[in-house]
Amino acid sequence: MRSKALEGIRVLDLTQIYAGPYCSMLFADMGAEVIKIEPPRGEIIRDNPPLVKEGEGGPHDRSRSGYFLTLNRNKYGITLNLKHPKAISIFKELVKIGDVVLENYAPGVMKRLGIDYPVLKEVNPRIIMCSVSGFGQWGGYSERLSFDIIAQAMSGMMSVTGHPDSPPTKVGTSLGDVSASLHGAFAIMAALWYREKTGVGQYIDVSMQEGMVAILEGGIPRWTVGKELLTPIGSMNPHECPMAAFRCKDGYIIIATVGDEHWQRFCRAINRPDWAADPGYSTKRQRWEKKYILQEEIEKITTQYTVKEVGEKMDGERVANSPIMNIQQVVDDPHLNERGYFVEVEHPIIGKAKIPGIPFKLSETPGVVERSSPLVGQHNELILGKYLGLSRAEVNQLQAEAVL
């Protein structure tokens, strides 16, 4: 059996909802031992759809969520009531044998619980703690309540998303959460590498707002350097044209060109050599400034053909293009399935479920999805027995005392 890239790393995961659980999922997929620590009744997204119908999912009513399953595969699950002093003591004992603490409570909660970084650093000087929050742990906005849509709104992302005549529009998925997850995971890996060299742990402060600002592409310098304020342009690209969705007889097709050579190919594909020779279209800036005129002219042609027919024309000249697939088509996509992207897991309540797999492939230490998400408190006895030496009777007593 191949070794795992992060085998031997132990993550204590206090996070809920999306940004934190996705981050810890990346570690679990790469072989880290992720111990998900939930409140006694489990975290809030155990109620997120799709849910196995009540009565069809067995006795574990809080373990019926396909959403939770996707984000929490490969993790061990325990419960701790962190408002109970004994639970805090147990958590500190786990910190002694941990490498990473990941949390996404509101700023100040960890301190009120008595387990903020200065405390945990005394418990284990090698510990790396990562806090993910809407606006970071300090600053004028730090105490504001935040969710993905707020991060999208206050990063500028919503100001450039949608069509010119549409109301402010969020990206179709929780990109604010995902961006924070990925930046947090990179920061933790950087901290682990530094600790490998020095033996010193550290604290990481991840802001969802800053994570979203970081992926605005050229939006910031377009304003700070060029004094050009980007606005919504639908499916168009802020730098290149044509690069957008174009109407066909039976739907829409994406056509994407980058630079002058691609433009020449596109003109051949669409049988408009006059456009290729037009000095008014000779640079990408000229084409971009005429993007709406070009879209109208292009659609006069594409609407005469089906998506498939236009795609074949583009393929003939190696112009990037694609149909716009819905979720069902993505799941059935032969390319993704040939590469083995989707994985099937067996969950004791949900049954067999196809879920997203690992979106990168390491040649020597590929990740693997080995286990489904844990039931509420499924591994209390395993983890507390293994690391704290507690017996089954002692674990049962802690549950009776509302510690677990």
What are the residue numbers of the active site? 177
Residues in Cβ contact with 250 at an 8 Å cutoff, skipping those fewer than 6 apart: 306, 307
306 neighbors 257 (Cβ within 8 angstroms): no
Q: Which two tokens stand for residue 105?
A: 């409570």
